[in-house]
Structures are given as C-alpha cells and as structure tokens.
Amino acid sequence: MEHFVWNFDPILFSLGPVMVHWYGVLFATAISCGFLVMKHIYKREGLPVESLDDLLMYCVVGIIVGARLAHCFFYDPEFYLSHPLKILYIWEGGLASHGGGLGAILALFYYHTKTKLAFLFLLDRLAIATAIFGFFVRIANFANSEILGNPTDKPWGIVFARVDNIARHPAQLYEAMAYLISFVVLYAIYRNTQLKQKHGGIFGLFLLFIFSARWAIESVKVSQTAYHEQFITTGQALSIPFLIVGVILFIKALLPTKTAK
C-alpha cells in the first residue's frame, strides 16, 4: 500500500544567517488567533479589552516557561539535571503541552488578581481561545515532522520523509482535529447555552474533551520519554489530574445552584 509522503521544508525563508521557520509563524498565528477570540468575547461581554495586552504577555511567558520546564523534568529529567543550562535552549525544541497549560492557568490567576474578574469565569473564556491556539500549534508540529505516531499500515498513515521511510499515525493531526472540534463545540455552547453562566463549566468540558483525546492519542504516539516500559505513558499520567479537575468542574456546573454573577 502506498502512503502519503510528507517531505515539507520546515524553513519558510532565509535572510542571510537568519532562518524563519514555519513553526514560528504558526506559533505566532496560534497566539494571534487566541488573542482575537478573547478580544471578541470581551467585546461581547463589555469587558475591558485594553487589559488583554497584559493577559497576552502573562500567558505567553507562562506557556513557554511551563511547557519548557515540563518537557525537561517530566520527559528527560536525567539529561537536563545533568545539563541544566540546556533548559534555556528552547530553540532546540522540547515543549510539553501539559506544562504549557499549567503555565497559562498560573498566568491567568495572576491576571485575575490584577483585574478582580472571577478566576473560573476567565478560565471558561480562555478555554475557547486555547482550543484554537492548540490547533495551530499541532499544525506547527506537523510542519516540523515532530511528535510522531507509531508505525501503521492504515491507509491514512503518513511517511515523514525527513525522519524515516515508515508510514506512521499522523498523531499531530489527530490532536489538531481534537482541538479544532473542541473550539467549535465550546464556542457554540458559549453562544447558545446557559453553561457560560455556571463558572467552570466550559473549562471543565474543555479539560474532559482535550485530555480524553490526548489519552487516546497517546496510545499511538512514539514515546517521548527515556523510559519506555510503562503501564501508561508520561502524557497519559499527566492527563489524569486534568481529567479529574474537568469532571469535578463540569459536574459542579450541572448541579442546580444559583446562577453565578
């Protein structure tokens, strides 16, 4: 069976010694789209749009720092503890979405202390923006031929020619679709239901959807850790607390309580 061959040049263009990568362009697109979604929501709800510049700065720092530290200490701790300066070498690759998510939550909490807007209220809105952000980041991973899936003989398997000649699950695209579907569903719920009035409901649903998908997709991804003989992958283990929080928040939002104000 012939499979689609992906031999995409990750470099968009070069200006002398400076190389502009598709990953950087798509990551910037992810940030821009997430910002525009939040701006749209803030305008709909009469919130202070000018404060979003601060939120953007906090989240970018939180996501990058959190994602980098999680990659270093959860996926290859022995190497980075032996070479601590390498933690700063972000350009060499290595960002973990679980850490990025936690970093964004901490950044949002700091923003909450500055604006006095309810924390769960903010998380519900940021979840929608995060979904479209995650979609573009996973497309960037695909452009980079990274976060590979296991070998497969399925007709939709893809040969990542810059890695090897083996047809693999396009795990990046699986996750990208999960994020895109999540964005569409969450925005529809935000626009058309009263769940947005129950603080934490949309965020809880986001956690359930994304980390359930992540748990399933991890089973077809190449292990990113130095330890391969595990009952569950590191990504699955890191998904468990997010799933638990998602269940708690979503159930709490469904319980008959007074409408949050």
> pTM of this prediction?
0.88
pLDDT at 103 over 70: yes
Long-range contacts of 23-26 (CB under 8 A, 24+ apart): 23/140, 23/141, 23/143, 23/144, 26/136, 26/137, 26/139, 26/140, 26/143
138 is in an annotated binding site: yes
Using a pLDDT cut of 90, give the percent of the chain over it: 69
Q: What are the beta bridge partners of residue 20? A: 13
- How large is the average pLDDT for residues 125-137? 96
pLDDT band at 226 (very low <50, low <70, confident <90, very high): low
Give the pLDDT confidence score for residue 208 in this predicted structure. 97
pLDDT at 4 over 70: yes
Q: What are the beta bridge partners of residue 167? A: 159
Q: 26, 120 in Cβ contact below 8 A?
A: no
Give the pLDDT confidence score for residue 34 in this predicted structure. 95
**Two tokens at 220?**
């077809």
